[in-house]
Structure 1
Amino acid sequence: MISLVLKKKVSKMRFKYVNLNPSQLLVLVFVFFIILGTLLLKLPFATVDSISLVDALFTATSAMTVTGLAVVDTGTAYTIFGQLVILMLIQVGGLGIMSFAVLIFIVLGKKIGFKERIIVQQALNQTSIGGVINLVKNLFIYSFTIEIIAMILLAIRWVPEYGWGRGMYVSFFHSISAFNNAGFSIWADSLMRYVGDPVVNLVITILFIIGGIGFTVLSDIWHKPNFRRLSLHSKLMIVGTIVLNLFAMMVIFFLEYNNPNTFGTLASLGDKMWAAYFQAVTPRTAGFNSLDIASLHEGTITLMLLLMFIGAGSASTGGGIKLTTFLVIVFSVITFLREKRNITIGKRSIKDKAVFRSLAILTISILFIFLAVFLLNITEPDPFLLILFEVISAFGTVGLSMGLTADLSIIGKLIIVLVMFFGKLGPLTFAFSLAKPEAEKIRYPTEDILTG
């Protein structure tokens, strides 16, 4: 009798601790894979020379969050096994842990319950649970197909240069890294050696633009080839991406045209155009670079800070506050200045919930970035701009650096690890994992507050 009572109490205790909300579960699963990746990278045959536990943790987190910041050179510090571990973390982190869990359930023929669907919805930033399983199926079909096609195209360029074995591996590595917006490269100078190469520039950028536009948009385009029939979200992402990329390309081209340390090293106008194009699109969480970032003018760096903060699209492999979040806030400001009541985009009214959500994301992100910069200014002796660039790059899971990453102190590395983790999961997911939702039972009278 006593044993039966004890068993019931234990079962209740277990249920109490296992009963996590979707946000908390996502955080725990992410932590688990980061720890697993850290342990794998610490194995003797994963590295050429032994690396510290903090460096292994930093690399695992950077790969899992598809950031691309590196404290050691990926191509020389890690063996093929270590590089494959990094690729595995990139693929899982880019497509989503819960997406892989759903794939396993589908392969095994098991039923996917309501709670699992809610977790997938949270992981993919969807507004409803309807169609999330089909979205996951399409996600894998699109992703693997695009990665294979890109690998073949890159192999056509790199096999003649490196031979069959090496050429195919280089193509395989960069195809996965680029599509998942990871920014990891097996070359210490990233893609600077191919600054004017049309094939490398086009394939790599198309990969991370497609990966960053969002799987919801890709699925929408596949089922509705007519632009007019696309959802408002898809239209905003497509038009916003094109406009933002073209604007950034023109600004960078003119800002850097007379810079002797960047465009001044390029022989032809074509190379300069390719360089401007690549540096314009890569801050949207891609992380590759074809020019030395530290040599760019401060005006260019400032523009890149904004692009990294905005980031890619929802339900994509990229980070940042997301382009649609930025656009909702911009249209909200325009609506307020015009003294209109309803926020409209493309003859569609935007729900108040979307506006509140966007403002919450923006506010939490700015506060978190401020805190990280404040702490790094205490622990690191480096200039403010380098620290700010590093933090926003980590938050946006971009992976670009002005050369600060390898010189960070142990505390500095751990701070950046937390920033990458926060940036990948998203401000709201992280906030929801800590906060307890409360039902609004009482409504109080309204009163104005003086602002501005």
Structure 2
Amino acid sequence: MVDNLGFALTPDSMVTFQDATFPLLVMTFLAFAGNTCYPVLLRLLIWTMSKIAPKDSSLRDPLNFLLNHPRRCYTLLFPSRPTWILFGVLFSLNFVDVLLIIVLDLGNPAVNNLALGPRILAALFQSASSRHTGTATFNLGAVNPAVQFSLLVMMYISIFPIAISIRASNTYEEKSLGIYPRRMDGDESRPGSYVLTHLQNQLTFDLWYIFIGVFCICIAESKKIMDANNPAFAVFPIFFEVVSAYGNVGLSLGHPDVLTSLCGQFTPFGKVVVCLMMIRGRHRGLPYQLDRAIMLPNERTITDKPPESLFQDEKPKEVRGLAKLKHSLTQ
């Protein structure tokens, strides 16, 4: 769970444990701590250690340095304001996800077979799993279609909160920590405009890969899709599968005849397309160069002036004037 892989030894993922309170609590925390809430919990841990450390302790200065210059030291450690924004976004997304699962499936026996308390906990676990973990406490093929669509959207935007936080804090002493393509640029001084620009770039760029993947799989699996006796094969379950692969989540609506994901019933070509979607989705939005989260004071960036120009700028005007006069006389 903490690695957000989604592997389980049980054939029905976590449906067997949907009423087990303690395991679900632990695994929900691990799912959040291992990915989406990792920057929040990391800063909380550092802040807590800085508060409980004695005043004369040698740990206070390093901890305060981490809190004051987080992106200089670690890629996933953000300043206070972006961390609070990230927490607010994650809380809102998970709250909406849990609310939809509870409300839209009030009369669904696939969900309301649980008491209210375990149902809320199972919905919270499912909400956490819809980002990266890929495990399920409900039979996703039997839940409300609106819930399926909401999970699809959550899988697609799973990378956005942390990615936008990384981009928004992508400066160190007014220099960029990573070189991104021009289409990713935005006005970082205006968070609202920057987030909107990033979302527009993602929606206009990433969706092409998803559409191409769905199109290729529909061609490869056309006979199964057109088979009226095989209702599990349809365009939406394939769309769900491709988005899950592109977001590196691992959720699937499954197939009633097997215990594997729906892609287990694909042809070899369809499985190759799913693998390509996973690889492309894993590398979306990366900078052209490594993020320089660690930069020593004596390191120079590309935009820095050479040492000679630095010394020249520090010379008084009189000295520079005498140097120019001497140079003209020698000529």
- Asked whether the two chains share a fold, i.e. TM above 0.5, the reply is yes
Matched residue, 2:269: 411
Q: Which residue, out of 236, 239, 260, partners 1:385?
A: 236
Q: Which residue, out of 201, 207, 216, partners 1:366?
A: 207
1:156-203 Cα shifts (integer Å, max 9, x gaps)? xxxxxxxxxxxxxxxxxxxxxx11111111111111111011111111
SS in 2 for 1:265: coil
> Per residue, is there more helix in 1 or in 2?
1
Question: Quick check: 2:28–2:124 contact (8 Å CA) kept in 1?
Answer: no
Matched residue, 1:181: 4
Q: Kindly tell me: are residues 278 and 354 of structure 1, through their superposed partners in 2, closer, same or farther at Cα, counting changes over 3 Å? A: closer
Matched residue, 2:98: 249
Q: Distance in 2 between matches of 1:284 and 1:370?
A: 20
Q: Kindly tell me: are residues 410 and 295 of structure 1, through their superposed partners in 2, closer, same or farther at Cα, counting changes over 3 Å? A: same
Question: Quick check: 1:257–1:264 contact (8 Å CA) kept in 2?
Answer: yes
Matched residue, 2:31: 208
Superposed, which structure 2 residues align to 1:25-424 within 5 Å?
178-213=1-36, 215-225=38-48, 230-260=79-109, 262-266=110-114, 268-312=115-159, 322=163, 349-350=190-191, 356-380=197-221, 381=225, 382-403=233-254, 404-424=262-282
Q: Kindly tell me: are residues 354 and 386 of structure 1, through their superposed partners in 2, closer, same or farther at Cα, counting changes over 3 Å? A: closer
Q: Distance in 2 between matches of 1:313 and 1:354?
A: 9
Question: Quick check: 1:311–1:323 contact (8 Å CA) kept in 2?
Answer: no
Q: Distance in 2 between matches of 1:246 and 1:376?
A: 33
Q: Distance in 2 between matches of 1:365 and 1:205?
A: 29
Q: Kindly tell me: are residues 222 and 412 of structure 1, through their superposed partners in 2, closer, same or farther at Cα, counting changes over 3 Å? A: same
What is the Cα-based RMSD across aligned positions, in Å? 3.3
* 2:246 maps to amino acid: F
1:181-237 Cα shifts (integer Å, max 9, x gaps)? 1111111111111101111111111111112226544443333359x9843321121
1:55-110 Cα shifts (integer Å, max 9, x gaps)? xxxxxxxxxxxxxxxxxxxxxxxxxxxxxxxxxxxxxxxxxxxxxxxxxxxxxxxx
- TM-score using structure 1 length: 0.46
1:317-362 Cα shifts (integer Å, max 9, x gaps)? xxxxx575999xxxxxxxxxxxxxx989xxx733977654443333
Question: Quick check: 2:90–2:161 contact (8 Å CA) kept in 1?
Answer: no
Question: Quick check: 2:210–2:246 contact (8 Å CA) kept in 1?
Answer: yes
Q: Kindly tell me: are residues 376 and 357 of structure 1, through their superposed partners in 2, closer, same or farther at Cα, counting changes over 3 Å? A: same
Identity of aligned residues (%): 25
Structure (1 or 2) with the larger CA radius of gyration: 2
SS in 2 for 1:187: coil
Q: Kindly tell me: are residues 294 and 323 of structure 1, through their superposed partners in 2, closer, same or farther at Cα, counting changes over 3 Å? A: farther
Q: Kindly tell me: are residues 277 and 326 of structure 1, through their superposed partners in 2, closer, same or farther at Cα, counting changes over 3 Å? A: farther
SS in 2 for 1:232: helix
Q: Distance in 2 between matches of 1:264 and 1:220?
A: 38
Name structure 2 gaps, 5 residues minimum: 52-66, 69-78, 169-185, 226-232, 255-261, 290-331
1:134-159 Cα shifts (integer Å, max 9, x gaps)? xxxxxxxxxxxxxxxxxxxxxxxxxx
Matched residue, 2:283: 425
Q: Kindly tell me: are residues 249 and 243 of structure 1, through their superposed partners in 2, closer, same or farther at Cα, counting changes over 3 Å? A: same
Question: Quick check: 1:213–1:313 contact (8 Å CA) kept in 2?
Answer: no
Count of residues in Structure 1 that have an aligned counterpart in Structure 2: 230
Q: Could you tell me how far 1:252 is from its partner in structure 2?
A: 0.9
Q: Distance in 2 between matches of 1:354 and 1:215?
A: 20
Q: Distance in 1 between matches of 2:40 and 2:119?
A: 31
Q: Kindly tell me: are residues 212 and 231 of structure 1, through their superposed partners in 2, closer, same or farther at Cα, counting changes over 3 Å? A: same
* Large movers: runs of 4+ above 4 Å: 312-315, 322-327, 351-358
* 1:240 maps to amino acid: V
Question: Quick check: 2:164–2:195 contact (8 Å CA) kept in 1?
Answer: no
* 1:349 maps to amino acid: R
* 1:305 maps to amino acid: L
Q: Kindly tell me: are residues 301 and 355 of structure 1, through their superposed partners in 2, closer, same or farther at Cα, counting changes over 3 Å? A: closer
Name structure 1 gaps, 5 residues minimum: 1-177, 316-321, 328-341, 434-452
Question: Quick check: 1:283–1:308 contact (8 Å CA) kept in 2?
Answer: yes
* 1:418 maps to amino acid: L
* 1:364 maps to amino acid: F
Question: Quick check: 1:180–1:211 contact (8 Å CA) kept in 2?
Answer: yes
Q: Kindly tell me: are residues 299 and 241 of structure 1, through their superposed partners in 2, closer, same or farther at Cα, counting changes over 3 Å? A: same
